[in-house]
Amino acid sequence: MTEITTGDRASTDAGAWAMPHPSAEEHAARGKAEREKIPRAAHASWEAPSHRPDPIALLEEQAKIRVPELVPIRHGRMLVSPLTFFRGAAYVMASDLGATPRSALRVQLCGDAHLSNFGVFGSPERRVMFDINDFDETLPGPWDWDVKRLAASMELAGRDNGFSKSARSDIVQATVREYREAMRNFGALGNLDVWYASLDTEQIIERFGSRVGHKRLHVTEHNVAKARTKDSFQAYEKLTHEVDGRRRIISDPPLIVPMDEFLKGVAREQLEQQVREILHGYRCTLQTDRRHLLEKYDFADMAHKVVGVGSVGARAWILLLLGRDDQDPLFLQAKEAHASVLEPFLGKSEYGNSGQRVVAGQRLMQAASDIFLGWQRVKGVDGIERDFYVRQLRDWKFSVDIAALDRAALTAYGSLCGWTLARAHARSGDRIAIAAYLGKADTFDKATAAFAVAYADQTERDHQALTAAVKNGRIQAETGV
């Protein structure tokens, strides 16, 4: 059995209950001792080393394992602004953080905790929850890597929205302060209280509503109501039409390409049979009750769908399943999972299947996960085996329009993300030690805000390098898609 290393213990099946259980005081002492190794103020510094890898070369390296004809779309989306470049450059930042001093306090990292990878979705209990919603890069590692990625994204968003330097600093510090204070609060709670902690939209409005004003609060409530309409049936009405008496996924190339458009005849039949086998194997990764529910649906159609910014080029399929009749749809998304971008710097995942890595990380970090979340390894029509994870395509999902946020709203949103990230880290890591390391003063808040400025400057330079690479023909980019 693989050793568990995300928290403060190590265990194996043979001695699962022989693990050490330090006292709260010992956990706190561990965190304070970490300050001697990496002072909190030291987090402020960022300067590109002379041997820093070429960020464009890192993007080219990633492109080798992606669908070639979709890679220009990814680059085109990254060209839009430094913030969109940052969203697609998790590998670049992982490489940069890998060259910095490394904390011994480890958690399950999101690996790509920028501000747009948080949002709302429906819990199994049908509550509208706010949480991290992207785990493609999840891996155990130093807790501060996620915090720094979130902080840098807040700084870049503030620049995108035209806020002053002092306003951006306040926003980033508010985000980090919420993380620090939430971690201290979690450190004082029992294990079950931490595990059950969550934020639904009613709690968000109660806790953060006063910070954004009546008008923005009304918009938030409207968006929550809108999120409840984003389910499989809404996707069914939007993404399908009737062809010869059967429901088929619409064609909208290159963003949505139905199976019928790239395979015909026997080849299509073979792929459909393969999809049924995929579903049969994937269902074994679900809990028994959810497997029973999935088996009430039958496969109807599939299409390739382009998603996100950083994910563009990875194979992503949407699968239409039908239940009791054609008014009982279930849309699933099967998304290719590569090795985490953190692995070259933090070591290989304990999971041999990258889809399982994503699912395990998501279940550990999220307060409540999609009931259809699972994984599978698939041999494609080209004979190459690839890992996938599967989830619902839409289940009350909604993401905040960052460009529409004023200063107060972005500050409140950053605080919300900071609290959520702290809760996710507290579930897997040594929350008492991290809280003791952070302390009650704002030393780490200010240091991280300074880092965010320096790293945002670096991201702007990297974005300019991508722009130049497109202009000179080194990189192909397709914009407006």
Q: What is the pLDDT of residues 223-236, one digit of tens each?
A: 555 555 556 667 77
Give the SS3 label for residue 367.
Answer: coil
Structural domain contains residue 478: no
Average of per-residue pLDDT across 129-143:
94
pLDDT given for residue 5 in this prediction: 46
| Residue 19 scores a pLDDT above 90 | no
Q: Which amino acid is at 425?
A: H
| Residue 220 scores a pLDDT above 60 | no
Average of per-residue pLDDT across 199-228:
61
Structural domain contains residue 427: yes
Q: What are phi and psi of 173, to 5 degrees?
A: -65, -35
Structural domain contains residue 476: no
Average pLDDT, the chain: 88
pLDDT above 70 as % of the chain: 87
| Residue 75 scores a pLDDT above 70 | yes
Q: What are phi and psi of 128, to 5 degrees?
A: -85, 110
- Pairwise pLDDT comparison (71 vs 221), residue with the higher score: 71
| Residue 3 scores a pLDDT above 60 | no
- Are 413 and 322 members of one domain? no
Q: Which domain holds residue 71?
A: 13-226+407-471
Over the stretch 270-314, which tens digit does the pLDDT of each residue have? 777 777 877 888 999 999 999 999 999 999 998 988 776 666 667
Which residue, 392, 427, 453, sits at the end of a domain? Answer: 392
- Are 74 and 187 members of one domain? yes
Ordered alpha helix ranges (H), 349-471: 354-365, 407-428, 431-438, 443-471
pLDDT given for residue 233 in this prediction: 66
- Are 67 and 195 members of one domain? yes
What count of residues does the chain have? 481
Give the SS3 label for residue 235.
Answer: helix
Please list, residue by residue across 326-352, b when 16 or more beta carbons sit within 10 angstroms of its beta carbon and e when fewer do: eeebbbbbbbbbbebbbbebbeebbbe
Token look-up 């969203």 returns 87
Structural domain contains residue 400: no
Q: Given CA atoms 284, 287, 291, 294 in this order, what sign does their dihedral have?
A: negative
Beta pairing partners, 318: 303, 333
Average of per-residue pLDDT across 455-472:
98
- Are 305 and 164 members of one domain? no
Structural domain contains residue 271: yes
Structural domain contains residue 313: yes
Over the stretch 429-459, which tens digit does the pLDDT of each residue have? 999 999 999 999 999 999 999 999 999 999 9
8-state DSSP, 342: T
pLDDT given for residue 435 in this prediction: 98
- Are 254 and 298 members of one domain? yes
pLDDT given for residue 161 in this prediction: 97
With cut-offs at 50, 70 and 90, classify the pLDDT of residue 9. Answer: very low
- Are 222 and 236 members of one domain? no
Average of per-residue pLDDT across 188-216:
76
Structure tokens at 170: 């306040």
Does the model's pTM come out above 0.85?
yes
Cα angle vertex 109, ends 10, 388, to 5°? Answer: 100
Q: Of the ranges 93-102, 231-240, 386-395, which one carries the lowest mean pLDDT score?
A: 231-240
With cut-offs at 50, 70 and 90, classify the pLDDT of residue 410. Answer: very high
| Residue 1 scores a pLDDT above 70 | no
DSSP annotation string for 11-76 = --GGGTT-S----HHHHHHHHHHHHHHS-GGGGG-----TTPPPHHHHHHHHHTTS-GGGHHHHHH
pLDDT above 90 as % of the chain: 62
Query: Is residue 332 a contact partner of residue 319, using CB atoms and an 8 Å limit?
Result: yes
- Are 252 and 114 members of one domain? no
- Pairwise pLDDT comparison (295 vs 378), residue with the higher score: 295
**Residues with Cβ within 8 Å of residue 251, at least 6 apart in sequence:** 257, 258, 261, 303
| Residue 8 scores a pLDDT above 70 | no
- Are 355 and 420 members of one domain? no
pLDDT given for residue 243 in this prediction: 85
Instruction: Assess whether the previous peptide bond of 140 is cis (omega < 30° from 0).
Output: no
Domain count, the chain: 2
Q: Distance between CA 312 and CA 73 in Å, rounded?
A: 7
- Are 28 and 163 members of one domain? yes
| Residue 217 scores a pLDDT above 70 | no
Q: Distance between CA 426 and CA 315 in Å, rounded?
A: 32
Over the stretch 234-278, which tens digit does the pLDDT of each residue have? 777 888 888 888 888 999 888 888 888 877 778 777 777 777 877
Average of per-residue pLDDT across 40-44:
96
- Are 220 and 250 members of one domain? no
With cut-offs at 50, 70 and 90, classify the pLDDT of residue 4. Answer: very low
- Are 179 and 253 members of one domain? no
| Residue 11 scores a pLDDT above 50 | no
| Residue 396 scores a pLDDT above 90 | no
- Pairwise pLDDT comparison (17 vs 127), residue with the higher score: 127
Token look-up 């806790």 returns 207
